[in-house]
Amino acid sequence: MKKWNVAAIKAAKGVERLGCCTAYDACFARLADEAGVPMILVGDSIGNNVLGFETTLPVNIEDSISAVSAVARGVKEALVIGDMPFGSYQCGDDLAMINAVKLIKAGADAIKLEGGVRVVGLIKRMTEAGIPVMAHVGMTPQSVNEYGGFKKQGKTPEAAKTILEDAKAVEAVGAFAVTLECVPEELAAQITSVLKVPTVGIGAGVQCDAQWLVMHDLLGLNERSPSFAKRYAEIGRTVRQAFSDYVAEVKSAAFPN
């Protein structure tokens, strides 16, 4: 398999559903890559999965650059997407361009940012500069304070229409794919059928062209996972037991031996 690129991701629409996930370091990125994961998102979800924050909001661009650099060193074939954290693109397009370039220089093949109509100018500028952009509409975690919590979006006809228009708008200015997060399955299916670029769902049902799953949910590393997530392993239990066994063996002098 050759290195996944933006053209290959777009060509997969309607041909092959893609199972994609997050990673935040070289070790897990290498394992995901070897398993055939086509896209790895170095998400701002590093905040609540790795750095111990309650939300993604405290993550800064330096956190993202460091994680992108590590992930890029661990993969050979997957497309690496660097997430633009809160504050890295809301404070003016010039700063946003600088931060996007930093992520690309760190090893990202593309960047992802949240928002629909309100960020079309920025997406257009980035794509014209040769920076591939994945858009993100629906429930956008960086707007958690506006929502009053992590809540499904698009449940009313008016809200659904807004999200549909957001998706169309970001495609029109060059986004190569659109993440749909926590929207009704019927809305995700409608958007997927309307767009010519792939949709990547997370809590948006089976009709999307691809799926995101946070690595820590997939592997059972979190104490709790969202209702839409599936735990394919319970590595957290195994790791905890390994630590416990190690401490006990040192205490009993069974290790080192």
Whole-angstrom distance, CA of residue 161 vs CA of residue 155 = 10
Please, are residues 99 and 89 in contact by the beta-carbon 8 Å criterion? yes
Catalytic residue status for 165: no
Tokens read off for 191? 């958007």
Angstrom distances, CA of residue 93 to CA of 11, 35, 54, 131, 254: 30, 37, 28, 14, 60
The catalytically annotated residue of 54, 114, 171, 181 is 181
Angstrom distances, CA of residue 242 to CA of 24, 238, 239: 22, 6, 5
Cα 194 from chain centroid (whole Å) = 22
The DSSP bridge partners found for residue 20 are 212
The three-point CA angle 236-240-241 to 5° equals 120
DSSP-derived secondary structure letter, 3: P
- Catalytic residue numbers, as ranges: 181
